[in-house]
Amino acid sequence: MIRSTSGTDRYAASRGQHERAARSLAGGVATAFRAPQLPVPITMAGGSGSHLRDIDGNEYIDYGLAFGPMLLGHSPASVIEAVQRQVATGIGYGASHRAEADLAEAICRTVPCAERCIISNSGSEAVHIALRIARAATGRRRVIKFQGHFHGWLDPLSVGNPGSPDAGPATAGQDPGASESVTVCPWNDLDALAAALDDVDVAAVIMEPLAVNGGCLVAGPGYLEGVRRLTSNAGTLLIFDEVITGFRLALGGAQERFGVIPDLAVLGKALGGGLPISAVAGRADVLEEVATWRVRHAGTFNANPISAAAAVAVIGQLEREAATIYPRLESLGDQLAAILREETANAGVPLVVNQVGAMGYAFVSNVPVTDHDALLRADADAFRRFAAALLDEGVHVISRGLLYVSAAHTDADLEHTRAAVARVAQAMSATSQVNA
């Protein structure tokens, strides 16, 4: 293990806080995805721009970005101002307010498939209602998802998740009956999808159009177009889960970038600039199911004014600055991937980096990771140790390998990151901590 650079325990306060939290908060963290962080789940004290600060006073260049939402960086002025304005006005009405229509218009302006939308609180919820809408609109029951794609924590689609060797459930306590109508298919395989679509009862095919959670895997040439054609021919709705890619891969998300337009898209994460909000956007005739109340879309907090105001501010800034923000994100993503590849190669550490624009995924692996099977063979423990060593160097990455850059990252951040990665890679190589 690489030692703390200071020689003392630079995470003492985080350790204490974690122990304290675990006495009342089951597991000591509020979401399972934070639990695996080494040496201990870090307790943050604040964030600004591309940096986070923990309660021990350590500062980090942050490539985790709250698991994706902070596309504009931490505490972006536009979002803070919008939230403050809204807080001063009212924080919840249980009634209509202007920001929800502002937001719906902004989504319909920017997301190619969006003729109408609905607004919800989290990605998981939005996926759930998207499936309900698809079933109502088609009068069919089954749903096809893909091995290694992630669509949130709710039971029906928590099968064949990233890192799972089979189509089994993701967690104890899951109702196996909830997934009875879900077929898990291999991704990037049009023949397999065509065969699955022989079943005439398929309401929807849902996918991450860039398989970010399964390793930032890119669809093969013609695959997305092929899926579009097959689903249209089958009368099945195509749902893109753009919870990660929405607003991040382009203003109009993966559908804009790849030029394939789904019937419905699920949005979340970056949409709220850090506040909880999500949406389902798509064809007006499909969302008519909600407009006519045939499909009930309920939720006490749906489009709460603070989250809605934040999201309006996020989309507004992205629209105004699209010509500079997206090329910058692209360049930052490319540079971060190059730094990781070059400095680990120099040290003989077998790091593979898949990256598209402002997102990526890194693995300790001796072979390229181009499909879910290769992800399963990568050395996840070695990557967690790599992430822990980077933390000691003031660089925060998600311990399973996901990488995000924001519009707030700077050239100085990249320079610091290069030096940090070089030191960590040399130390790992010297102590033979990698054996992928």
Ligand X SMILES: Cc1ncc(COP(=O)(O)O)c(C=O)c1O
Q: Interface with ligand X by CB under 6 A: which residues?
A: 67, 122-124, 127, 150-152, 208, 213, 241, 243-244, 268
Alpha-carbon distance 18 to 377, whole Å?
A: 31
Which residue's CB is nearer to ligand X, number 123 or number 274? 123
Alpha-carbon distance 310 to 317, whole Å?
A: 11
Minimum separation from the CB atom of position 9 to ligand X (A)? 31
Minimum separation from the CB atom of position 274 to ligand X (A)? 12
Alpha-carbon distance 59 to 351, whole Å?
A: 25
Which residue's CB is nearer to ligand X, number 60 or number 150? 150
Which residue's CB is nearer to ligand X, number 210 or number 351? 210
β-sheet bridge partners, residue 47: 52
Which position's Cβ is nearest ligand X? 123
DSSP state of 267: E
Calculate the CA dihedral of residues 108, 242, 182, 189 and round it to 10 degrees.
120
Residue type, 82: A
Minimum separation from the CB atom of position 4 to ligand X (A)? 30
Which residue's CB is nearer to ligand X, number 150 or number 361? 150
Minimum separation from the CB atom of position 392 to ligand X (A)? 26
Minimum separation from the CB atom of position 156 to ligand X (A)? 13
Q: Give, rounded to a whole angstrom, the gap between the first and last alpha carbons of the chain.
A: 17
Minimum separation from the CB atom of position 116 to ligand X (A)? 20
Which residue's CB is nearer to ligand X, number 211 or number 424? 211
Q: Count Cβ atoms below 10 Å from residue 25 Cβ, excluding itself.
A: 11
Which residue's CB is nearer to ligand X, number 30 or number 291? 30
Minimum separation from the CB atom of position 151 to ligand X (A)? 5
Residue type, 15: R
β-sheet bridge partners, residue 359: 356, 404
Structure tokens at 269: 């994460």
Q: Which residue blocks in 235-278 are alpha helix, DSSP H? A: 253-258
**Sheet containing 351-356, strands listed edge to edge, beginning at the edge strand earlier in sequence:** 351-356, 359-364, 402-404
Which residue's CB is nearer to ligand X, number 361 or number 363? 361
Which residue's CB is nearer to ligand X, number 156 or number 350? 156
Which residue's CB is nearer to ligand X, number 245 or number 335? 245
Cβ contact 305:93 at 8 Å: yes
Which residue's CB is nearer to ligand X, number 124 or number 183? 124
Minimum separation from the CB atom of position 245 to ligand X (A)? 8
Minimum separation from the CB atom of position 154 to ligand X (A)? 8
Candidates 170, 167, 258; CA nearest to 209 is: 258
CA atoms within 13 A on the CB side of 349: 31
Which residue's CB is nearer to ligand X, number 2 or number 182? 182
Alpha-carbon distance 320 to 355, whole Å?
A: 26
Alpha-carbon distance 248 to 329, whole Å?
A: 9
Alpha-carbon distance 415 to 264, whole Å?
A: 40
- Measured at the CA of 17, the angle between CA 14 and CA 20, to 5 degrees, comes to 155
Which residue's CB is nearer to ligand X, number 297 or number 423? 297
Minimum separation from the CB atom of position 243 to ligand X (A)? 4
Minimum separation from the CB atom of position 237 to ligand X (A)? 17
Q: Is the peptide bond before 221 cis (omega within 30 degrees of 0)?
A: no
Structure tokens at 359: 């997102």
Minimum separation from the CB atom of position 213 to ligand X (A)? 5
Alpha-carbon distance 123 to 127, whole Å?
A: 6
**CA 362 and chain centroid, separation:** 15
Q: 414-435 as b/e, with b when 16 or more CB fall inside 10 Å?
A: beebbebbbbbbbbbbeeebbe
